[in-house]
A and B are shown apart, each in its own frame.
Chain A
Amino acid sequence: MATKPDTLLACAPITEKPGVDRAMRVAIQRARHGKQAPSFSQQQAFDAAVAKLVHAIPVDAQVAEWFANENLIPLPKPRWRKILLNPAVLAVIVAVAVISGVFAYRVHEHLKDFPGGDKARRLLSVAASSRSVILDPLQTDAGALTDLFFMKHRLEHYDVPPEFADFRTLGTRVFEDEEVHRVAQIWLVEKRMQLLLFPAEPDPKDGRIKDFSDWRFVELEGWTGAVQQRNGVCFMAVIRGREKDLAPYLEKKKQ
Chain B
Amino acid sequence: MTGDASKAQEAFQDTVREAALRSARDEPPPNRLWFFGDARWRCLAVCEQGLQAEPGMMEEADISLFAPMQIAQLEPEQLAVWISAAPEPQRSALALFYLDEFTLREMLALLEIKAVEFADLLSSARRQFQAWLDATTPYYEEPFFDGNEA
- Which residues of A are in contact with B by a Cβ distance under 8 Å? 2, 6-8, 10-11, 13-15, 17, 19-21, 24, 39, 42-43, 45-58, 60, 62-63, 66-67, 69, 71-74, 76
Is chain B's interface secondary structure helix, strand, loop, or mixed overall? helix
A51: chain B residues within 8 A (beta carbon):
98-100
Q: By the criterion CB–CB under 8 Å, are B123 and A10 in contact?
A: yes
B120: chain A residues within 8 A (beta carbon):
2, 10
A2 to B124, CA, bound (A): 13
A48 to B72, CA, bound (A): 11
- Which residues of B are in contact with A by a Cβ distance under 8 Å? 5, 8-9, 12-13, 16, 19-20, 23, 28-32, 35, 63-65, 67-68, 71-72, 74, 76-77, 79-80, 97-100, 103-105, 107, 115-116, 118-120, 122-123, 126, 129-130
Interface contacts beyond A8-B115, A54-B76, A63-B13: sample of 14 additional A-B pairs, CB < 8 Å, sorted by A: A11-B97, A43-B63, A47-B98, A49-B67, A50-B129, A53-B79, A56-B76, A57-B76, A63-B8, A66-B12, A72-B16, A72-B23, A73-B31, A73-B32
The 10 closest A-B pairs by CB, nearest first: A10-B119, A49-B71, A49-B68, A57-B76, A56-B76, A7-B119, A54-B98, A66-B16, A72-B19, A19-B103
Is chain A's interface secondary structure helix, strand, loop, or mixed overall? helix
Q: By the criterion CB–CB under 8 Å, are B32 and A66 in contact?
A: no
Minimum C-beta distance from B32 to chain A (A): 5
A57: chain B residues within 8 A (beta carbon):
76-77, 79-80
A50 to B23, CA, bound (A): 36
Q: By the criterion CB–CB under 8 Å, are A66 and B13 in contact?
A: yes
B107: chain A residues within 8 A (beta carbon):
11
Q: By the criterion CB–CB under 8 Å, are A13 and B76 in contact?
A: no
**Which residue of chain B lies nearest to A1 when distances are taken between CB atoms in the complex?**
B116
Count chain B CB atoms within 10 A of each CB in A15, A46, A58, A73 and give the residue with the most: A46
Find A11's partner among B28, B35, B119 (CB 8 Å cutoff): B119
A43 to B129, CA, bound (A): 12
Q: By the criterion CB–CB under 8 Å, are A63 and B9 in contact?
A: yes
A7: chain B residues within 8 A (beta carbon):
115-116, 119
Q: By the criterion CB–CB under 8 Å, are A60 and B79 in contact?
A: no
B130: chain A residues within 8 A (beta carbon):
46
B30: chain A residues within 8 A (beta carbon):
74
A67: chain B residues within 8 A (beta carbon):
16, 35
Q: By the criterion CB–CB under 8 Å, are A21 and B105 in contact?
A: yes
A6 to B119, CA, bound (A): 9
Minimum C-beta distance from A9 to chain B (A): 8
